Amino acid sequence: MRKVFQAELHQIGEGLIEISALVEEAVSKASAAFAAADLQAAQEVIAADARIDFLQNDLDERAIDVLALQGPVASDLRMIVGSLRMSASLERMGDLARHIAQLTRLRFPNTVIPAQLRETFAELARQDIIIAAKVSELLESRNLELVADISTAKIEINKLHKSVFATMASPEWAETPATTVDVTLASRYFERFGDHGVSVARKVSYLVTGEWQPEDFLAG
């Protein structure tokens, strides 16, 4: 019976890794499509999000079945409850990658971001991709040294996000209301993606150490 239980826990862990890999692919492809106004790539990201949703629902159902049938305690219970919460964060990261792709599709054949902010958004995307890759590695290895890398990337994202709003608030900003809204939404999508990556990292840290970190543990 214990072997079956451990196998079920292993499957849940593998499910998280699979979802995270798809999220990593989604944000990488969405960011490239966003920068290049690539409609086909954007469409692929939008369509692929259904797979992430399906896997999250499947993982959550399996985790709930284990809770109901196995009555786990202590660290096993933390693992299952943490997995439910991590799957929700990963699913939301997939949604945010989809939102970036949807903005790309909405403004095609034009790019979403005006020239003066393209380098800023390229760096936002780069930091999100770093977070996605580190989250995938963290879920597989449970190496908490990766948490520092996620923290560093999120601190940089916060600075970039603030700089976007500083640019839009400056007297030199002369873009249309539609562009201003697009830039606001896009910056928020990239910033929130990082937030959810931090959320996953905090939960992995808790599973490994048994200690819950404060909300600002990685936020900078």
Does residue 214 form part of some domain? no
pTM for the whole thing?
Answer: 0.93
Does residue 153 form part of some domain? yes
The structure tokens listed for 88 are 């929700």
Q: Taking every pair of C-alpha atoms in the chain, what is the biggest distance, in angstroms?
A: 68
Does residue 141 form part of some domain? yes
Specify the CATH number for the domain of residue 197: 1.20.58.220
Does residue 217 form part of some domain? no
pLDDT of residue 65: 87
H-helix segments, the chain: 2-36, 39-70, 74-107, 118-141, 145-169, 177-209
The answer to whether the peptide bond before residue 72 is cis (omega within 30 degrees of 0) is: no
Number of domains in the chain: 1
Does residue 78 form part of some domain? yes
Domain that holds residue 122: 2-209
Does residue 25 form part of some domain? yes
Do you know the residue count of the chain?
220
Mean pLDDT in order along the chain per 10 residues (220 residues) = 74 96 98 98 98 97 84 76 95 98 98 97 98 98 95 97 98 97 98 98 89 57
Query: Going by C-beta distance under 8 Å and a sequence separation of 6 or more, which residues neighbour residue 83?
Result: 12, 13, 15, 16, 59, 63
Does residue 131 form part of some domain? yes
Whole-number Å distance between alpha carbons of 38 and 116: 20
pLDDT of residue 72: 67
Does residue 134 form part of some domain? yes
